[in-house]
C-alpha cells in the first residue's frame, strides 16, 4: 500500500515538473527576428567546420547541454531554465538562422556568445555541429 | 669595450620596446580589426575586388599563462580577467611539511583587460616582497592558416615595485625591477603547440651590489649584473577537448660571478572551460614575478626541489 502511494506520488511530481517546463516553454516562446530566421548559413558543414564546432561546443556549451545535447551537462541541474534536448526532431525544425540568433544573443540562463566568440563563422560552425546531434 | 657599448644600446632599445609598440597600435589597427572581421571567400573577394581576409590560427594556447610564463595569447577585445596563482613550498622536506603543502606559500592576484584584440594591460600583486606589477602585452603577429605568418609573435613587458617597509631599501629606486619577453609560438597541429621566449630582466638592486662597489675599488669586477638574459621553451599537448598537458623549461643565459639562478623545469595539467582555465603543475619557480623567478631561483631540479603550484583564470566579456 505504502509502495503504491510512493509510486503515485512520484508520478505526480514528475508530471508536475514536466508540465511546468512545457508550460514555461509555451508561455515563453523565444521569438527570432525574421532577419535571422531567414538567414542563410554561410559556412559549409564540412569536416573543418564540424571540427571547429565540436571544439567550441566542448568549451562553451557542453557543461549545460551535455556531450550529446540531451541537456544533461554537469551544470544542468543548477539551471532555472530547461537546456532543451538537441537530439529531438522538434528542435531541428527551426532554421540555422534561429539557432545562430539564440546562440549569439542568449536568454535567461543561456548566455549570449557574440562577445565571447566574435567570429560569426565560428558560431555558424557550432550550428553545423548542433545539427549532427539529431537522432 | 665596443661590444659592451652595443649590448648597452640593445638593452636600452629593449626597455623602450613596449612604448614603441604602444605608440604603433594605430599603425597595426588594420591588422587588429582583421581578427574580428568575418572571413570572406576568395570568390566573394574577387566580386568585391578586395584581397581575401587572412585566416588566423586560433587557440594556440587556451590561457595567457603557461605555468610560470606568459603565452602569445591576448584575450579578445573587452575581456576582463582575474588570475589567482599559488605556489606551495618545495616537496623535498617530505612528510615534515606534507610535501610543501603546509610550507610557506606564495600567492599572486592579477587583473587584466584587453583594450583591443591585440593589446592587454594589467596589474598584479604578489605576496613575496609585496610586489606590485604593471604589465602590457601586445600581439605583434598572429599565425595564419596559409603559413603567410608561420608563427605568432607577442611582446610582454612589466615593471615591478616592491612595497615592503622602507627600512628594507637604501634608495627608493631599489624597489623597482623590469622584465621584457618576446614570445614566439607555433600551433603545429590540433594537438601540439610550442613556444620559445627569450627574456631580459633588469634589477635596479641586486644582492651584494654595495659589497661589489667596495670590491671594484680593488680592481675586481662586479659579482652580479643588473641585466639578466634567459630563454623559455614550452609546449602544450591536447589530450582531449579542454584538457592539456603543459611542459616548460627556463634556461638562464647570463652568467654572474655568484648566486647564479637555477633553470626551471615544470610539467602540468590544464583544464579549460568557457570562462576558466585551471593549471596544476610541479616546477622549480616560486616567486611568480617573472624577473625574480629568472634572477633569483635557487630551487634546483637536480636536487628534487620541486614545488606544487596552480593557476586559475576567470574571464568576463564586456
Which residues are paired to B124 by β-bridges?
A: B110, B133
> Is residue B36 situated within a structural domain?
no
- CB–CB contact B241 A54 (8 Å): yes
CA distance B80 to B67: 20
- Is B243 in CB contact (< 8 Å) with chain A? no
* A47 and A9 within one domain: no
Q: What is the pLDDT of residue B1?
A: 45
pLDDT in tens, A41-88: 999 999 999 999 999 999 999 999 999 999 999 899 889 888 999 999
Residue B15: closest CA among B140, B200, B193, B152? B200
Number of domains in chain A: 2
* A102 and A83 within one domain: yes
Q: What is the pLDDT of residue B31?
A: 33
CA of A68, closest CA in chain B: separation in Å?
14
- CB–CB contact A119 B241 (8 Å): no
Return the exposure string of B170-207: e unless at least 16 CB atoms fall within 10 Å of the residue's CB, then b. eeeebbebbbbbbbbbbbeeeeebbbebebbbbbbbbe
- CB–CB contact A59 B77 (8 Å): no
Chain A CB contacts of B270 under 8 Å are none
CA B256 to chain CA centroid, nearest Å:
22
Instruction: State the first-to-last Cα distance of chain B, in angstroms, to the nearest integer.
Output: 53
> What CATH number does residue B196 fall under?
2.40.160.40
How many residue contacts between A and B have a Cβ separation below 8 Å? 31
* A36 and A8 within one domain: no
- pLDDT below 50 — which residues of chain B? 1-4, 13, 18-49
CA angle, corner B316, sides to B68 and A132, nearest 5? 100
* A25 and A71 within one domain: no
Q: What is the pLDDT of residue A27?
A: 62
* A5 and A53 within one domain: no
* A85 and A49 within one domain: yes
- CB–CB contact B39 A60 (8 Å): no
CA angle, corner A44, sides to B317 and A115, nearest 5? 5
- Is A120 in CB contact (< 8 Å) with chain B? yes
Q: What is the pLDDT of residue B141?
A: 96
pLDDT in tens, A12-28: 776 665 555 555 555 67
Residue B125: closest CA among B114, B103, B146, B110? B110
* A107 and A52 within one domain: yes
> What CATH number does residue A117 fall under?
1.10.760.10
- Chain B window 137-196: which residues touch A at a Cβ cutoff of 8 Å? 190
Give whole-number Cα distances, B228 to A78, B129, B201, B290, in Å: 51, 20, 5, 12
Pick from A115, A121, A123 the residue to mutate for testing the B interface (most B CBs within 10 Å): A115
CA distance B261 to B82: 30
Q: What is the pLDDT of residue B19?
A: 47
Chain B CB contacts of A63 under 8 Å are 273-274
> Is residue B52 situated within a structural domain?
no
CA distance A68 to A134: 9
Question: Residue A54: helix, strand or coil by DSSP?
Answer: helix
Mean confidence (pLDDT) of chain B: 86
Supply B180's cell numbers.
Answer: 621584457
> Is residue B235 situated within a structural domain?
yes
CA distance B265 to B249: 5
Q: Cβ(B283)–Cβ(B300) under 8 Å?
A: no
Q: What is the pLDDT of residue B196?
A: 98
The boundaries of the domain holding residue A88 are: 32-131
Percent of chain A with pLDDT over 70: 88
CA distance B144 to B51: 15
Q: Which of B76, B241, B273 is closest, CB to CB, to A118? A: B76
> Is residue B197 situated within a structural domain?
yes
Q: What is the pLDDT of residue A2?
A: 73
Number of domains in chain B: 1
> Is residue B214 situated within a structural domain?
yes
CB neighbours of B234 closer than 8 A, spacing ≥ 6? B66, B67, B69, B71, B194, B195, B196, B197, B246, B247, B248, B249
User: Is residue A90 classed exposed, middle or buried when 0-12, 13-18 and 19+ CB atoms within 10 A define those classes?
Assistant: exposed
Chain A CB contacts of B318 under 8 Å are 115
- Is B44 in CB contact (< 8 Å) with chain A? no
Q: What is the pLDDT of residue B222?
A: 67
Pick from A58, A67, A120, A124 the residue to mutate for testing the B interface (most B CBs within 10 Å): A58
Query: What is the chain A residue with the closest CA to B37?
Result: A119
CA distance B76 to A5: 56
Residue B22: closest CA among B131, B116, B135, B138? B138
- CB–CB contact A58 B241 (8 Å): yes
- Chain B window 116-135: which residues touch A at a Cβ cutoff of 8 Å? 117
Q: What is the pLDDT of residue B26?
A: 39
* A88 and A24 within one domain: no
Q: What is the pLDDT of residue A10?
A: 75
Long-range pairs for B208-213: beta carbons < 8 A, 24 or more residues apart: B208/B258, B208/B259, B210/B170
Which residues are paired to B59 by β-bridges?
A: none
* A37 and A13 within one domain: no
- Is B273 in CB contact (< 8 Å) with chain A? yes
Chain A CB contacts of B317 under 8 Å are 115-116
Is the predicted pLDDT of residue A29 greater than 90, yes or no?
A: no
Question: Residue B106: helix, strand or coil by DSSP?
Answer: strand
Q: What is the pLDDT of residue B35?
A: 36
What length does chain B have? Answer: 318
Q: What is the pLDDT of residue B246?
A: 98
The boundaries of the domain holding residue B306 are: 57-317
Chain B CB contacts of A120 under 8 Å are 38
* A97 and A49 within one domain: yes
CA distance B245 to B238: 6
Mean confidence (pLDDT) of chain A: 87
* A38 and A15 within one domain: no
Residue A132: closest CA among A76, A69, A85, A80? A69
Place of cell 546531434: A133
* A37 and A88 within one domain: yes
CA of B59, closest CA in chain A: separation in Å?
10
Q: What is the pLDDT of residue A6?
A: 76
Amino acid at each position: 500500500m505504502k509502495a503504491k502511494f510512493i509510486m503515485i506520488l512520484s508520478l505526480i511530481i514528475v508530471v508536475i515538473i514536466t508540465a511546468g517546463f512545457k508550460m514555461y516553454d509555451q508561455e515563453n516562446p523565444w521569438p527570432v527576428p525574421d532577419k535571422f530566421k531567414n538567414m542563410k548559413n554561410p559556412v559549409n558543414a564540412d569536416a573543418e567546420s564540424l571540427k571547429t564546432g565540436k571544439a567550441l561546443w566542448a568549451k562553451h556549451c557542453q557543461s549545460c547541454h551535455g556531450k550529446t545535447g540531451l541537456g544533461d551537462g554537469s551544470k544542468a541541474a543548477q539551471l532555472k531554465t530547461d537546456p532543451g534536448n538537441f537530439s529531438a526532431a522538434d528542435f531541428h525544425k527551426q532554421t540555422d538562422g534561429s539557432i545562430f540568433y539564440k546562440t549569439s544573443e542568449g536568454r535567461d540562463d543561456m548566455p549570449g556568445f557574440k562577445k565571447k566568440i566574435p567570429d560569426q563563422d565560428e558560431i555558424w560552425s557550432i550550428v553545423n555541429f548542433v545539427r549532427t546531434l539529431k537522432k | 669595450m665596443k661590444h659592451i657599448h652595443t649590448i648597452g644600446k640593445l638593452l636600452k632599445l629593449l626597455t623602450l620596446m613596449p612604448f614603441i609598440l604602444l605608440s604603433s597600435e594605430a599603425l597595426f589597427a588594420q591588422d587588429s580589426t582583421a581578427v574580428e572581421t568575418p572571413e570572406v571567400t576568395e570568390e566573394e573577394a574577387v566580386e568585391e575586388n578586395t584581397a581575401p581576409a587572412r585566416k588566423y590560427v586560433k587557440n594556440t594556447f587556451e590561457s595567457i599563462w603557461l605555468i610560470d610564463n606568459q603565452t602569445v595569447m591576448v584575450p579578445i577585445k573587452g575581456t576582463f580577467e582575474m588570475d589567482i596563482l599559488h605556489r606551495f613550498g618545495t616537496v623535498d622536506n617530505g612528510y615534515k611539511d606534507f610535501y610543501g603543502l603546509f610550507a610557506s606559500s606564495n600567492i599572486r592576484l592579477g587583473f587584466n583587460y584587453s583594450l583591443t584584440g591585440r593589446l592587454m594591460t594589467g596589474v598584479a600583486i604578489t605576496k613575496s616582497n609585496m610586489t606590485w606589477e604593471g604589465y602590457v602585452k601586445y600581439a605583434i603577429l598572429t599565425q595564419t592558416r596559409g603559413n603567410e605568418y608561420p608563427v605568432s609573435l607577442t611582446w610582454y613587458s612589466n615593471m615591478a615595485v616592491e612595497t615592503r617597509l622602507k627600512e628594507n631599501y637604501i634608495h627608493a629606486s631599489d624597489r623597482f625591477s623590469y622584465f621584457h619577453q618576446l614570445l614566439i609560438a607555433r600551433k603545429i597541429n590540433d594537438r601540439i603547440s610550442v613556444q620559445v621566449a627569450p627574456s631580459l630582466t633588469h634589477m635596479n638592486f641586486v644582492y651584494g651590489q654595495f659589497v661589489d662597489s667596495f670590491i671594484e675599488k680593488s680592481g675586481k669586477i662586479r659579482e652580479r649584473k643588473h641585466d639578466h638574459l634567459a630563454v623559455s621553451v614550452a609546449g602544450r599537448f591536447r589530450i582531449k577537448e579542454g584538457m592539456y598537458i603543459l611542459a616548460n623549461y627556463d634556461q638562464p643565459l647570463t652568467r654572474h660571478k655568484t648566486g647564479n639562478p637555477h633553470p626551471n623545469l615544470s610539467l602540468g595539467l590544464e583544464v579549460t572551460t568557457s570562462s576558466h582555465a585551471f593549471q596544476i603543475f610541479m616546477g622549480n619557480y616560486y616567486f611568480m614575478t617573472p624577473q625574480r623567478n629568472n634572477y633569483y631561483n635557487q630551487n634546483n631540479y637536480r636536487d628534487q626541489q620541486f614545488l606544487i603550484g596552480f593557476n586559475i583564470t576567470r574571464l568576463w566579456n564586456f
